[in-house]
């Protein structure tokens, strides 16, 4: 006969308290509803309608597709609910030098040949003859730059199967959408402002939070999604913050929506400015815009003027200011508090990493989910992994500012000549020598991403992997041209993004099945 373990004597987490809503809070709540709906763990989310949500992120990267699938969300319904659009990459304007532009695509360049990355063959041929832009060898880039979009079927063959995408969406609508999902899955939302945090006198662990009306909400595990202030991780526990301002100068942003232009581009555009950069994110109902800048190098008035003068349509609101300090919390998990989103750190909006880092934190928390002992080994592993992910993103973002020839302002002169963050100089040196990038073990910003930025901003390596010379040149050139022609022909058959969104939103006739074009190359 199996002995029954009482609720009081076992160590399982019985109550999860999420502090803060917004994208981070409701992503956490939806994840708990999906994976901790075990019959004994209860999840409570506390948020106040009086506290504003930053909501800087409206653009994402491809892993968000898997997150939504993990929750079992219907993609068409999700896009309709969030006014979302598809994103195939990012167009960079004026970064390497004024007047230059390049495309950072999702997916991959061409195909590996006998284990050698495509870009090595491209570099080999570019050293001998004029070559098309490397973007012409990527399905997502070719489709994106023609404003085309389609959704490949799981069984798709040919170039269409290489189409890789993410989304643009209204962050506040995404939080609302996930709230409905989480509440349907058993998460309880409590409205109220937290006025006090109750801690155990001996351990320092959190026991409860007290609301303005006197209600105390007790928990075992607390997830801090309270934004920059870090109500639990910082204000209660004094964890500390590591600033990365010496490598990332931007510390302020203004955001404003505007009316959509006629063309609905399936990519984010980021344009470098005198002391920062401006984003453009097309949604179904509006275009999101913002300027990210260094307050030490640009005034608020100049930033607002720059932002408004660069809009594609009429501004639909007044610009809203956001202050931030680039960096990360010294510990993402301290005692029984796990921080996520802005409470854990913020690098800056470039390359749309904030939502992905929330996703990383949730995935890692599930891998080392604690019991009420809160073992150091589990907590230490979580912190080590999250530190590595934040630092890797920091280095990739810093690359965009360091890899420039711009000398038109003190801002760009500093970026071009600054001491690089740990690890980045080695990456650049390996690239300069033979075009090598080592991204094994990283789920974010793979080889294509680093190649796109390094080449796009003018860092051309002196050589390439010598293994590429073992491949017959004529056969490689033929394969490269076949790839390029296949991408071009496939994109020509695809509908525009606006047409495709209309197709999948139309309930009658039924939405089309995923598109399956072409045959294998």
Residues with Cβ within 8 Å of 41's Cβ and at least 6 positions away in sequence, in order, are: 12, 13, 14, 15, 16, 32
| Largest distance between two CA atoms of the chain | 79
Helix (H) or strand (E) holding 243: strand 241-243
CA distances from 485 to 142, 181, 425 (A): 10, 43, 36
Q: Report yes or no: 331 and 384 within 8 Å, Cβ to Cβ.
A: no
Helix (H) or strand (E) holding 291: strand 287-293
Catalytic residue, chosen from 42, 87, 148, 335, is 87
Q: Tell me which residue has tokens 């495709």.
A: 500
Beta bridge partners of 257: 288
Q: Report yes or no: 144 and 168 within 8 Å, Cβ to Cβ.
A: no
Backbone angles phi and psi of 466, in degrees to 5: -65, -15
User: d(Cα 184, Cα 88) in Å, to the nearest integer?
Assistant: 32
Q: Report yes or no: 350 and 356 within 8 Å, Cβ to Cβ.
A: no
Helix 118-126 crosses helix 473-493 at what angle (to 10 degrees)? 110
Q: What is the DSSP string of 57-89?
A: --B--THHHHHHHHHT--HHHHHHHHT-EEE-E
3-state secondary structure 112-126: CECCECHHHHHHHHH
Collapsed DSSP state (helix, strand, coil) of residue 486: helix
Read off the tokens for 62.
Answer: 């491809």
**What is the DSSP pairing of strand 206-211 with strand 194-199?**
antiparallel
Q: Would you mind telling me the total number of residues written for the chain in this entry? A: 521
87 is catalytic: yes
Read off the tokens for 347.
Answer: 């690098």
> Cα 395 from chain centroid?
15
The residues assigned a catalytic role are 87
């Amino acid at each position: 006969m199996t002995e029954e373990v009482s609720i009081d004597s076992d160590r399982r987490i019985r109550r999860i308290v999420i502090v803060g809503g917004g994208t981070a809070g409701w992503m956490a709540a939806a994840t708990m509803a999906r994976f901790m709906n075990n019959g004994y763990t209860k999840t409570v989310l506390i948020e106040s309608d009086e506290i504003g949500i930053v909501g800087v992120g409206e653009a994402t990267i491809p892993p968000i597709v898997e997150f939504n699938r993990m929750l079992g969300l219907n993609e068409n319904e999700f896009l309709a609910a969030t006014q979302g659009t598809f994103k195939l990459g990012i167009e960079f304007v004026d970064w390497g030098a004024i007047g230059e532009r390049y495309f950072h695509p999702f997916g991959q360049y061409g195909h590996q040949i006998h284990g050698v990355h495509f870009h090595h063959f491209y570099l080999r041929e570019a050293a001998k003859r004029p070559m098309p832009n490397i973007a012409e060898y990527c399905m997502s880039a070719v489709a994106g730059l023609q404003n085309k979009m389609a959704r490949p079927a799981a069984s798709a063959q040919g170039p269409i199967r290489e189409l890789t995408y993410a989304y643009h969406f209204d962050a506040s609508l995404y939080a609302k959408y996930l709230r409905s999902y989480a509440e349907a899955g058993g998460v309880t939302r409590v409205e109220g402002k937290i006025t006090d945090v109750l801690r155990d006198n001996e351990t320092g662990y959190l026991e409860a939070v007290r609301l303005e009306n006197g209600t105390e909400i007790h928990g075992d595990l607390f997830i801090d999604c309270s934004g920059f202030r870090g109500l639990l991780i910082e204000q209660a526990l004094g964890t500390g913050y590591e600033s990365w301002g010496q490598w990332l100068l931007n510390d302020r942003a203004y955001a404003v929506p505007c009316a959509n232009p006629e063309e609905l581009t399936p990519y984010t555009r980021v344009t470098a400015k005198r002391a920062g950069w401006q984003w453009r994110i097309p949604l179904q109902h509006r275009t999101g815009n913002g300027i990210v800048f260094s307050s030490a190098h640009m005034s608020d008035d100049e930033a607002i003027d720059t932002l408004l003068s660069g809009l594609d349509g009429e501004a639909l609101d007044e610009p809203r200011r956001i202050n931030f300090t680039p960096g990360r919390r010294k510990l993402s998990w301290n005692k029984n508090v796990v921080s996520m989103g802005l409470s854990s750190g913020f690098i800056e909006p470039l390359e749309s990493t904030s939502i992905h880092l929330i996703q990383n934190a949730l995935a890692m928390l599930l891998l080392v989910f604690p019991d009420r002992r809160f073992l150091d080994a589990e907590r230490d592993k979580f912190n080590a992994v999250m530190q590595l992910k934040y630092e890797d993103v920091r280095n990739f973002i810093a690359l965009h500012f360091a890899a420039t020839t711009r000398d038109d302002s003190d801002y760009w002169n500093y970026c071009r000549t600054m001491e690089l963050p740990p690890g980045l100089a080695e990456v650049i040196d390996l690239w300069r020598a033979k075009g090598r990038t080592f991204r094994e073990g990283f789920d974010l910003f793979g080889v294509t991403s680093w190649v796109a930025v390094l080449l796009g901003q003018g860092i051309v390596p002196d050589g390439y992997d010598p293994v590429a010379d073992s491949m017959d040149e004529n056969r490689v050139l033929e394969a490269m041209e076949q790839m390029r022609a296949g991408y071009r022909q496939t994109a020509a058959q695809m509908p525009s993004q606006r047409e495709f969104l209309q197709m999948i939103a139309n309930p009658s006739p039924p939405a089309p099945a995923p598109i399956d074009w072409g045959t294998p190359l």
